[in-house]
Amino acid sequence: MSYRTRVKICGITRLEDALDAVRLGADALGFVFYPPSPRYVAPEKAAEIIARLPPFVTTTGLFVDADAQQVRDVLATAPLGLLQFHGDESPEYCAGFRQPWIKALRMQPGLDVAAKIRDYRDAAGILLDAWHPQLKGGTGETFDWRHWPKHSGLSLILAGGLTPENVAEAIHLTQPYAVDVSGGVELGKGLKDFTLMQAFMAGVNAA
């Protein structure tokens, strides 16, 4: 039996994009609270968007090596259901909040993915993203999907350079629990495009 692949659309900065994504079938929306990112959204703006969402949508806050107090400050403003740690946060740091969390691993050559996944065994899921020497994520680059771990025991989320054109093949090869897309459905950084999101969902459903 095959299961429906869940979809997270990340880098939401506008209410209309959030509502379109949900209407098109996205299961989760991502809000980037990493100030250097061009997709950064202020916690107050994220809270405004979240307040207008229908039920049953997972609101995800993305952080990169943030001070724990910064995460708590964001949580006090924006009701987030899930935390995504996309930097070099330790397992102990990630487990220090009440919310469930996922850990992003960037697929640097030589990374022992299986060992890393064991380190983060208390995560709700592990997100695998492309590695880039300067950027922490949102690179628009893919990694070699043949390095996808076979048996992890955790829900695995595929990210990195996914587009309407490649998502069906990516799912076919990796059979992830979920896919996460940002740049592949954008007109400009943080500005999602209805037609691209629609085509992306069609690619997921075709896989």
Ligand X SMILES: O=C(O)c1ccccc1N[C@@H]1O[C@H](COP(=O)(O)O)[C@@H](O)[C@H]1O
9 near ligand X, rule: CB under 6 A: no
3-state secondary structure of 146: helix
- Residue 152 to residue 104: CA distance in whole angstroms: 14
Helix axes 43-51, 68-77, angle to 10 degrees: 40
**Is the CB of 34 or the CB of 148 nearer to ligand X?**
34
The residue annotated as part of the active site, out of 20, 129, 144, 193, is 129
Residues of span 122-141 touching ligand X by CB under 6 A: 127, 129, 136-140
First to last CA, the chain: 14
State which amino acid sits at residue 7: V
Interface residue with ligand X among 17, 26, 85, 86 (CB under 6 A) is: 86
Is 129 an annotated catalytic residue? yes
Distances (CA, A) of 187 to 151, 182, 190, 194: 36, 11, 8, 10
Judged by CB under 6 A, which stretch of 21-29, 31-39, 44-52, 164-172 contacts ligand X? 31-39
**Is the CB of 9 or the CB of 47 nearer to ligand X?**
9
Q: Footprint of ligand X on this chain (CB under 6 A)? A: 10-11, 30, 32, 34, 37, 39, 62, 64, 86, 127, 129, 136-140, 159-162, 180-184
The catalytic residues are 10, 129
